[in-house]
Amino acid sequence: MKKWLFWFSAIVVLAAMQAGVRDVIGPYYFQILILVGINIILAVSLNLINGVTGQFSIGHAGFYAVGAYTSASLVYYGQTSIRAAISFLPHMAQDVVLLLLGLLAGAIAAGIAGLAVGIPSLRLRGDYLAIVTLGFGEIIRVLILNIDAIGASRGFSGIPLLSNFFWVYFFVLVTVVVVHNLVDSSYGRAFISIRDDEIAAEAMGIDTTRFKVMAFVISSMFAGIAGGLFGHFEMNLHPNSFLFTTSFYLIIMIVVGGLGSIEGAILGAILVTVVLEAFRGFGPFRLVNFAVLLVLIMLYRPQGLAGNWRLFRKAGAR
Amino acid sequence: MNTFLQQVINGISQGSAYALIALGYTMVYGVLRLINFAHSDVYMFGAFMGYYLANNRWVQSRLGTSPASAIVIMLGAMILSAGLGILIERFAYRPNRSASPFTLAFWFGILGAAAGQLIGQSFATLVAGAGIGILIGVVIEKAGLRPVKQDSRLGLLIIAIGVSLFLENGGQQVFGADPKFFPEIIPTTLMNFGSLKVDSQKLIVLGVAVVLMVLLNLLVHYTKTGKAMRAVSHNLDAAKLMGINTDRIIAVTFAVGSALAGAGGILVALLYPRIDPLMGVTPGLKAFVAAVLGGIGNITGAMIGGLILGLAEVMAVGYGESTYRDAIAFIILVLILLLKPDGIMGKGSTEKV
Amino acid sequence: MAILHIRQCSKRFGGLVAVKDLNMSLAPGDLYGLIGPNGAGKTTIFNLITGVYTPDEGSIELDGKTIHGRKPSAIAKQGMSRTFQNIRLFKSMTVLENVQTARHMNKKQTVFDAIVRTRSLKAEEAEIRHEGMELLKIFSLDTRAHELARNLPYGSQRRLEIARALATNPKVLLLDEPAAGMNPLEAIDLMHLIQFCRDKFHLTILLVEHNMKVVMGVCEKIQVIDYGETIALGTPKEIRDDPKVIEAYLGGA
C-alpha cells in the first residue's frame, strides 16, 4: 500500500517541479541542478562497490561513458525505426519510450562492461584493484576515442534532448531506493561482510567473488543510466568528459561525504558538484582551494562530512 | 635496419625518462605503500623550475649556453623538486601517521595566499593572505585540532589525489595555463655513426639518466642511508625498533625520488620542449605503469619497466597505430596486473590467516 | 563412517614442509582436539580443512564428499564452519547482524526480491532476525544484540564468533584457540559451552588449543602434531602419559 502511494506522489511532485523549476531558478542553476542529480546517481552507485563492499574501484567514468555512448547511439541511429514502430503514440510518449529504451541499453552495456572488468580484476587486492580499474577506465575512453561511428575525437553531437528534470530525479529516486533496499537485505549484509573481513565472510559460506562481481555490475549499470541521462541532456558527448579525473571527482564525492553511507554519497555529490560548477567564475583558484579542502578533510575528518549521521532507517551500511 | 635502430634509440631514451619518474613512484611505494599520484606533478614542477632557471638573467649572463649552465639548471631544478617533495611528505602524508605540527598553518597559509591573490592582484596581498592564514592555522592547532591518525591506505590515496589536483591547478594559476617552450640549453647536433643519424640530445638524455640511476644504486646499496631506506621498505615497525628515524628516512626517500622526477622533467623537456602545468599527467601515469611492470617497490624493476615501456610505445607508434599510443601503457598495465601483479622483479606475498 | 576424513595430506610453503602425510578421522559427534607446540602446523591444518590452502598431496572429505581444492565458501556450504585465532568479527556490524550475515544458507531471496521488497523478502528477513535472536539467547548475547560487535568485551566477542559460526548450520565446527586470552573461570565456562554445543546442535567439533586444562577437560580424542607430523593419537589420559608428547612440549632431555 505505502509503496504505491510513495511512488505515485513522487511522480506527481517531480512532474509538477519539471513544469516550473527551470523558469524559477534560471537556466544556469537549472544546469547545475541536473548535474547534481546525475552525480548523485554516480556517487550512490559508486558507493555500493567502494563504500559498502569495500572494493576500491576508480574507473567509474568508464561505465558512465559506456552508458552514455550506448544510449546515444541507440537513439541517434535507431530513432527513425523506433518512432515508426510506435507511431500510434503521441510524440511526447514516443520520446519517453526512446529515452527508456536508450537508458536500458546503456545500463545493459555498462553492466556487461562491468562484468568484463570485474571478473578478472576483483581477485586483486586494494591498491592493485584501484589501479587496474583506473587502467580499464582509460582503455574504454581510448577505445571510444577511436570509434568513428560515435564521433571519435570530434565528439558525438546531435543527440536528441530526451532527458529533463523529471527523468533525472526520477532515476535519482530509483537509484537511492534500489541501493538502500539492496543493502538492507542478506545481499547487503554479504557486501558489508566482504568489506569488514573477507576471509571470515568466505568462511561463513559467502562466495565473495560472486558478491563482489554482483556489486560491481549493479553499480556499473547505474553509472550507465547516469551516462544515458547525461548524453540526452547535453545533446553532445566527448571522450574528454570521461577522463580519469572524472573518476577521481566521484571518489572525492563519496569520501568527502562519508564512505559507506548513501547519505554521505548524496551529500558529497551535491557539495562537490556545486563547488566545481557554481564557483567556475573564480578561475583555477576554485580547484586549488577545493584540492586543499579535500586534503584537510581527509586529514582532520576522514569519516567524511556526513560521518555517522544517518537519515534513512539504519540499514547496516556504516 | 637503420630505422629500427633509430627507433630503438628513441625508445631507450624515452624509456630512461620514464624510468627516472618510475623510480620515484617505486621508492615511495616501497617505504609508504602509497601510490603517490602527486609525483607526476613534481616532474612537471622540475621542468618549470628548469625553465625559469634557464631564462633567469643571472644564469644566462654568467654561464651562457655552456655545459656548466646546463648542469646548474639541472641541479637547481633537482634541488627545488626535492624541496617540494619534502614539503608534500611533511604536510600531506606524514600527518596521517605521526605527529606533524604546523600542518594546519601550512595549508591555511596556502588558502590565505590564494585568497589574497584573488582579492588584490599584488605580491603584497598574497604574502598578507598567507600570513593571516598561517596565524589562524597556528591558533586553531594550539587550541587542540589535530589530524586524525589512521592506518587507511585508501585515505592516503585520496590525499595523494588531492595534492596532485592542488599542484596541477596551482601550477596553472602560478605558471599560467598556456604552454611554454623550454630553451635549448644543450646544443643539438646530428651525429653520424656510419649511416645511422643520431640526435646528440637523445644520447645526452640517455647518458644523464644512466648516471643518475647509477648514483641511486650506489646510494641505496652502499650507504647507511640506503640501507635504512631498504629496511623501512621491508618493515616500518621493525626499522623503528632498530633505532632508525623512520620519519627522516621517509623524507629522504621523497627528496631523492622527487629530485629524480625533477631531473626527468628537464630531460623530457629537452626532448619535447613544450611544457605546461598538465604535462605530468600522462607521463606520470605511464611511469607508474612502468613501476608496476617492473614490480612496484623494486628499484631495478622500475628501471627495467621504464625501458620496456619506452620501447613498446615507440615500436607501437612506429609500426602500429599511433592513436592507440596512450592505450599501450594501460593495456600493459592491465595485463600485468591480471597475469603477474608483482611485476617482473617482484615476489608474491601471502596473507597470514 | 567418518564425517571428516583427511588422508595422507601434505602442504609445503616453498622449501618448508608445514604438514606431512597427515591422517585424521573424525566420527560424527566427536570432540576432537588437535594440539602441539607452537609452529607445529595446527593452523595450517585448519586452513587446509577450510579451503584457505589446497593440499599438495592427499585428500580431505567431509561427510563422504571431497572438499580439498574447493573454495572456502563452498566448503562452508557443505557443512563446515570455524572460528579464528585472532577473532574475525564483522567490525562495523552489530552483534545481531554478525549472526544474521551467517544465516543465509537455504534462504531464497533473490536480488529482485531485495530491491522491490516483496512480501517473501520481508517474511524471510523476519525469519532470519528471529533465528538470529534465538541463537544469541543461547549464548546470552541477546541483551546486546544491537551493540556494535567491536564494542563487546573480549570473552563475549569469542562467544559471538562461535554463535556466528553456528548460524551456518554446520555439521563440523572448527574452533581455533577459543580459550586464548581467557582467565580460568572463563575457560571453564567455555568448556561447558563447547560440550553444550556438541550436544544441542548435533555437531562434531575439532579444537585447536594451547590451554591444556580445556583440552584435557573437553576433548574425547586428541591428536598431537609436531613439525607437521602426527606423533600421538588417543584419549586424554593416553596423551598425558605419552613420553613422545612430553618430549615435544618440553624439549629433549
* Residue B89 per-residue DSSP state: I
Average pLDDT over residues C76-93: 92
Pairing between β-strand C65-66 and β-strand C172-176 as defined by DSSP bridges: unpaired
Identity of the residue in A199, A201, A205 whose CB atom sits nearest the CB atom of C105: A205
- Residue B51 to residue B45: CA distance in whole angstroms: 10
Does residue B66 lie in a domain region?
yes
B353 and chain C: CB distance < 8 Å anywhere? Answer: yes
Instruction: Answer yes or no: do A186 and C168 touch at CB < 8 A.
Output: no
* CATH number of the domain bearing residue B245: 1.10.3470
C-alpha cell at A22: 527551470
Distance from CA of B190 to the nearest CA of A (A): 35
* Residue B121 per-residue DSSP state: -
Residues in chain C, total: 253
CB C60 within 8 A of CB C72: no
- Residue C62 to residue C82: CA distance in whole angstroms: 14
Domain count, chain B: 1
C-alpha cell at C18: 608445514
What is the pLDDT, as a whole number, of residue A318? 39
| Residues ≥6 apart with Cβ < 8 Å to B127 | B113, B116
- Residue A23 to residue A30: CA distance in whole angstroms: 9
Give the residue, A229 or B123, on which the prediction is more confident. A229
Contacts of C84 in chain B (CB under 8 A): 353
- Candidates B256, B270, B251; CA nearest to B78 is B256
C43 and chain B: CB distance < 8 Å anywhere? Answer: yes
Contacts of B351 in chain A (CB under 8 A): 199
Backbone φ/ψ region at A228: left (φ over 0), alpha (ψ -120 to 50), beta? alpha
Q: What's the half-sphere exposure (Cβ side, CA atoms, 13 Å) at A222?
A: 29
Which chains reach chain A with 3 or more Cβ–Cβ distances below 8 angstroms?
B, C
What is the pLDDT, as a whole number, of residue A310? 67
Q: Is the pLDDT of residue A191 over 90?
A: yes
Does residue B277 lie in a domain region?
yes
What is the pLDDT, as a whole number, of residue A1? 59
Q: Tell me phi and psi for residue C153, to 5 degrees.
A: -65, 160
Calculated CA dihedral for residues B169, B175, B181, B185, nearest 10 degrees: -120
* Residue C9 per-residue DSSP state: E
Backbone φ/ψ region at A260: left (φ over 0), alpha (ψ -120 to 50), beta? left
Average pLDDT, chain A: 88
What's the pLDDT tens digit per position in A203-225?
999 999 999 999 999 999 999 99
What is the pLDDT, as a whole number, of residue C100? 95
C-alpha cell at C21: 602425510
C-alpha cell at C115: 530491491
Which chains reach chain C with 3 or more Cβ–Cβ distances below 8 angstroms?
A, B
Domain ranges of chain C: 4-79+170-250
Q: Is the pLDDT of residue A307 over 80?
A: no
- Candidates C207, C201, C229; CA nearest to C46 is C207
Residues in chain B, total: 353
Q: What radius of gyration do chain B's Cα atoms show?
A: 21
Could you count the other beta carbons within 10 Å of the beta carbon of residue B225? 15
Kindly provide the b/e burial profile for residues B11-34, where b requires at least 16 CB atoms within 10 angstroms of the residue's own CB: bbbbbbbbbbbbbbbbbbbbbbeb
What is the pLDDT, as a whole number, of residue A79? 85
Instruction: Answer yes or no: do B330 and A285 touch at CB < 8 A.
Output: no
* Residue A51 per-residue DSSP state: I
Q: Residue C52's closest chain B neighbor by CA?
A: B353
* Cα dihedral B141, B143, B149, B154 sign: negative
* Residue B323 per-residue DSSP state: G
- Candidates A303, A16, A3, A54; CA nearest to A174 is A3
B181 - beta bridge partners? Answer: B274
List of E strands, B180-241: 180-181, 190-193, 196-199
Q: Is the pLDDT of residue C15 over 60?
A: yes
- Residue B251 to residue B258: CA distance in whole angstroms: 10
Domain that holds residue B11: 2-100+147-339
Identity of the residue in A178, A184, A204 whose CB atom sits nearest the CB atom of C164: A204
* Residue C174 per-residue DSSP state: E
- Residue A37 to residue A30: CA distance in whole angstroms: 11
Could you count the other beta carbons within 10 Å of the beta carbon of residue B4? 11
Instruction: Answer yes or no: do C52 and A199 touch at CB < 8 A.
Output: yes
What's the pLDDT tens digit per position in A27-36?
888 989 999 9
Instruction: Answer yes or no: do A3 and C165 touch at CB < 8 A.
Output: no
C-alpha cell at B171: 601550477
Angstrom CA distances, B244 to A165, A248, B29, stand at: 60, 36, 18
- Candidates B32, B45, B139; CA nearest to B92 is B32
- Residue C137 to residue C75: CA distance in whole angstroms: 27
B351 and chain C: CB distance < 8 Å anywhere? Answer: no
Contacts of A126 in chain B (CB under 8 A): 153-154
- Candidates A152, A150, A145, A162; CA nearest to A77 is A150
* Residue B91 per-residue DSSP state: I
| Angle value at C-alpha A139, between A133 and A142, nearest 5 degrees | 145
Does residue B121 lie in a domain region?
no
Does residue B120 lie in a domain region?
no
- Candidates B56, B109, B115, B105; CA nearest to B80 is B56
Angstrom CA distances, A184 to A189, A311, B35, B42, stand at: 7, 14, 34, 45
C-alpha cell at A122: 576483483
- Residue B44 to residue B167: CA distance in whole angstroms: 9
Share of chain A above pLDDT 90, in %: 44
Q: Residue B114's closest chain A neighbor by CA?
A: A285
Burial class for A119, CB neighbours closer than 10 Å (0-12, 13-18, 19+): middle
What's the pLDDT tens digit per position in A145-186?
888 777 777 888 888 888 889 999 999 999 999 999 999 999
| Angle value at C-alpha C246, between C243 and C247, nearest 5 degrees | 85
C-alpha cell at B306: 621504464
Q: Is domain C4-79+170-250 given the CATH code 3.40.50.1820 in the classification?
A: no
SS3 of residue A32 by DSSP: helix
* Residue A185 per-residue DSSP state: S
Burial class for B132, CB neighbours closer than 10 Å (0-12, 13-18, 19+): middle
Instruction: Answer yes or no: do A300 and B147 touch at CB < 8 A.
Output: yes
Burial class for C148, CB neighbours closer than 10 Å (0-12, 13-18, 19+): middle
Distance from CA of A290 to the nearest CA of C (A): 30
* Cα dihedral B85, B87, B93, B94 sign: positive
Tens of pLDDT along chain B (353 residues) come to: 667 787 888 888 888 888 999 998 888 888 888 888 899 999 999 999 999 888 877 767 776 667 777 888 889 999 999 999 999 999 999 998 888 888 889 999 988 888 887 777 777 888 888 888 899 888 888 888 888 887 777 788 889 989 998 999 888 888 888 888 888 777 777 777 766 777 777 888 888 888 998 899 889 889 999 899 888 888 888 888 888 888 899 999 999 999 999 999 988 888 888 898 888 888 888 888 888 888 887 888 889 999 988 888 887 777 666 666 777 778 888 888 888 877 887 755 544 44
Q: What's the half-sphere exposure (Cβ side, CA atoms, 13 Å) at A134?
A: 25
- Candidates C45, C23, C47; CA nearest to C36 is C45
Could you count the other beta carbons within 10 Å of the beta carbon of residue B188? 12
- Residue A72 to residue A79: CA distance in whole angstroms: 10
C-alpha cell at B59: 644564469
Distance between alpha carbon B82 and the CA centroid of its chain, in Å? 9
Helix axes of A244-257 and A126-145: crossing angle, nearest 10 degrees: 140
| Residues ≥6 apart with Cβ < 8 Å to C186 | C155, C179
Q: Does ipTM surpass 0.85 in this model?
A: yes
Q: How sure is the predictor about A315, in pLDDT bands with cuts at 50, 70 and 90?
A: very low
Could you count the other beta carbons within 10 Å of the beta carbon of residue B278? 16
CB A19 within 8 A of CB A11: no
CB B142 within 8 A of CB B105: no
Q: Is the pLDDT of residue C242 over 90?
A: no
Q: Tell me phi and psi for residue B300, to 5 degrees.
A: -60, -35
What is the pLDDT, as a whole number, of residue B65? 66
What's the pLDDT tens digit per position in C164-218?
999 999 999 999 999 988 889 989 989 999 999 999 999 999 999 988 889 999 9
Instruction: Answer yes or no: do A185 and C121 touch at CB < 8 A.
Output: yes
SS3 of residue C34 by DSSP: strand
